[in-house]
Every structure is written in C-alpha cells, then in structure tokens.
A and B are shown apart, each in its own frame.
Chain A
Amino acid sequence: MSRRVAITAVSAITPIGYGQRDIVESLQQGVSGVKPLKDDGLLVSRIHSKVFGTVDYPIPFDFARRFRKTMGPVANYACQVAGDVLAASGLDQDFISSGRLGVAFGSTHGSPTVQRDIYRTFFQQLDSGFSSIGAVDYLRSMVHTTAVNITRMFHITGRVIATATACTTGSQAIGFGYEAIKFGLQDAMICGAADEYDTTTVAVFDNLLACSVAFNEHPEQTPRPFDKKRDGLVVGEGAGAVLLEDYASAKRRGAPILAEVLGFACTNNGGDMILPNLEGITATLQLALKNARLTPEEVDFISAHATATKMGDSIEAQAIAQVYGDRSPYVSGLKGYTGHTMGACGAIELICTLYMMQAGFLAPTLNLEEVDPRCAMIQHTPACMDADTRIAAIQNFAFGGVNTCLLIRKGTDAG
C-alpha cells in the first residue's frame, strides 16, 4: 500500500509569534524572537552566551487540573498546538478515538524544568524524611511526555511514536507520521515537537563552543545563518503540530488540503556524533528527492537547518550545491528569526514554510548581511519577496549524526 498524505491543519508557538497571523507578520517584517537569556539562579552566570529564542508573550493555556497534573511546560506547549490542529480539523471524537488516528510527537529530553526540580528536591531535602518528589514528576518530565499527554487529553488510541533525536525530533515525527499513513498503518497522525525554556541546553552547546556569544548586547542580531560574522547557534523554545491525513480520506470529508507531504528521508552519518557530515547530508537530500520522485529542478525553496555554526552552515551549503547544482532553489535559514528551537525546529520550520507558501512570499535569512564565501555557492533568498512556491524542502540535522529532509507541495486549498 502506498497512499498520498495531506497536511490539513497546523499550529505553532514560536519566539516570533503564536499562530499564522503573528508568524507571517514577523517573517515579513524581519522581527527577531531572540531575547536576553533569563537568569535561572543556577547556570546562567557561568554561561558565555546570553541570548535565547524566547516565547515572551502570554499563551492562554486552559487545561483542567486532571490534565495539568501530568504536564510540565513542554507538554503545555505540545497539548496547546495539538489541540489547535484538532479543533481546526473538524474531526469528530469517534474518529479521534477510533485507533485510526495516532500521535508522533517528541521533545529533546522531556521537561528539563521538572527534572531540575526533582534534583533540587533530591539534593536539598535528602534528609527531611518525606517523599518530596511528586508522584507524577516522572510523567511530567519523561522523554515521551508530550506524546502521551496529547493522547490522554484528546482520548487518542492509535499508535504512539515519541521521537527524541534532538534537532531532528520534529522532522522525524512528521516523517514517521507520513510513513505511517502512506503505508496504511494509520489514517491520520498528529505530528510535531516541542521544547521548553531551558538553560541546561544552552550550557551544553556553550561548553561545545557552539553558542553565539558576540552579540550578547544585541540579541536580535544573532543567530546569523550563512553570514560571514556568524558565531554560533542561539537556543530557543517553541512547539509545532501538523495534522497529517490520508489524502483521499481528507478530500472525501472536505478537509482543506494545505499541503501534501511528497517525501521523507532519514539517515545517519554512521560515525561522528557532533560534526556535520557532507556525505551524509548530501545523501539525505538525494534520498528525499528520490522518495518524493522529484528532480532537483522541481524544488522552489529550501528551508535550511542552518544553525549559524561555522562548519554546519558551510557543509549544508556545499551539500545543497552538490544536489541542486547551478540552479539552487531559494534558500533561507529560518533560525535567524526564531533561534534554534531544538526538537521543535523541524515542525516549526515546516509550518513557517507552509505559511509563506500560503501567503505567497519568501522571507530571507534574518541577519544575513554578508554571505560567507564558504556558503556562497547557493541561491540565498535575497529579500522578503513575492513568490509562488509550489514545492519546498525542509532540512534538519541533529547531534548523533541524524539527518532528515521532508519535501512538501503546496495544497489546493493553501490560498
């Protein structure tokens, strides 16, 4: 069995806004979501990077306590965007609980906020004699907390895929959800990822000298994907959810076809866990095109992973050039706007790409002022411009040597 797969609803919480209107406005106006790193009373004084892609606006979470009690901040994000796509979908509860709808959702490592509280309790109150660690702290912090809080809240009974591959968590979730429908295992999947505000992740990348430190006084000027002055990534937070459906079923029920997932590739470099790998990335982009039965010439736009590290951006540009040749599609690194939203980035960047397709424009890489000669062999989106993008690639790469590429086509109801 091989079925077409449609995207029929999306929702994202990002450092540049929540929902289509705010996000499109930020992309069109070149608004950065990077803000000063908030003091956590623990790590921040020791971290060199002082910037974070921050969700700094209130979100109207309205979850009953019976749900909240098993949710950390990351699950709040996840359930909010999952609830949005279900509400937009019009799917009835009989279908939602039929076992034909599944969930593919993840986060980098569950809820670090809750994990930190557990350790704080453990070390500070070790001798108190009382069990101060909450009974549900594991449920709130575990690595699959997003996926199963979604299933619990919406009574979803289909398969659960909880991806947890750092920066490819969201793109893998969408890719694996796509495959579950394509091969007839499920009729619909809620896919995506979330990550919450977390200074531990900043510390990890800071230790690896991978974080941006040169723009601490001007957070909006970093990260700078592909730019000559780029000096590293900026960790961020956020969430994205997409509803995937069997294309024919979605058409039959009159659901809006926002886009179609044409193909997906996921590979591993089979070696180094940190360094980007030209061969592995190139193979992934080629495999995705093959999976989607597309030629390079048919792709109009690439959402690059482009975290703004020196080596990562250069290797990605080389890989794009190898696969697409002289006629590179327009390429943008959307992390220039949001920072690196970690596990959520693949989902968020796919949704931003879809929003741009719908609104008929392409946003350039924010903060790309002077292209690094080592990244100059591709066609960077030169400015915010009108564009009728039909087919786009969303590329993401992760620690552990994981590479993904998703290919989507603008849908008939995408505006």
Chain B
Amino acid sequence: MTREELQDRIIAILVQDFEFKDPAPDDHLRDVHGFDSIDAIELLAKIEKLLGFSLTREEKEQAMVIRTINDILDYIETMQQKRDLATP
C-alpha cells in the first residue's frame, strides 16, 4: 500500500468512525478534531485490523505521541517495516 493509499484509508476511518470534518494531514488531532486518549485506543484496534497483526503493549504505548494524521501514517509504516524485517 502506498502512503497515499494508506492516507486515504486512514482518513476514511477518521471521517466515518470518528466523525472528523474535512481532515487535513497536518491537523492537530486533539485541538482540531477533539481526538482524545479513548479515541486513540479505538484507532489502534482499527489499525491492527488494517495491518492484519496485533500490536504489542510497547508498540501501542509508542502511539501515544501521535499528534497528526501524518504521525499516524508514520507510525503504521514503522510498524509494517518492523514486521517485514522480522519476517524471514
């Protein structure tokens, strides 16, 4: 999945499930869209389904520094690369 495709998927989730209005990649999630820690946990569950694998507790805690949609995309790509490297 390209970054553009990933962005489209994430934005679709944010619009449909989190009722974001006109999200932009660098919007501050909390300040602009009222995204809170409960939402972050819900989003992580959706990211797990998107990726097709479970995140570890440590990986989930790393997601707590996410502030923008671009941060979400970076995070997903990092998790994906970690799994790709771990796969022989």
Contacts and interface: CB of A to CB of B under 8 A. Distances in A.
Contacts of A136: 38, 41-42
Contact of A132 (B19, B39, B45, B53): B45
A66 B19 CA distance: 9
A136 B48 CA distance: 17
A93 B5 CA distance: 45
Interface residues of B, number: 13
A130 B38 contact: no
A130 B39 contact: no
A69 B38 contact: yes
Contact of B49 (A65, A70, A130): A130
A70 B37 CA distance: 13
A134 interface: yes
A135 interface: yes
A66 B49 CA distance: 23
A70 B36 CA distance: 12
B45 A66 contact: no
Interface residues of A, number: 12
Given A65-B18, A65-B19, A69-B39, A130 B45 contact: yes
Contact of A130 (B18, B34, B48): B48
A136 B36 CA distance: 12
B54 interface: yes
A130 B46 CA distance: 9
Interface string A104-147: 00000000000000000000000001111011100100000000
A131 B38 contact: no
Interface in B33-73: 34, 36, 38-39, 41-42, 45, 48-49, 53-54
Given A130-B54, A131-B54, 11 more contacts: A65-B19, A66-B36, A70-B38, A130-B45, A131-B48, A134-B42, A134-B45, A135-B45, A136-B38, A136-B42, A139-B38
23 contacts: A65-B19, A66-B34, A66-B36, A69-B38, A69-B42, A70-B38, A129-B53, A130-B45, A130-B48, A130-B54, A131-B45, A131-B48, A131-B54, A132-B45, A134-B42, A134-B45, A135-B38, A135-B41, A135-B42, A136-B38, A136-B41, A136-B42, A139-B38
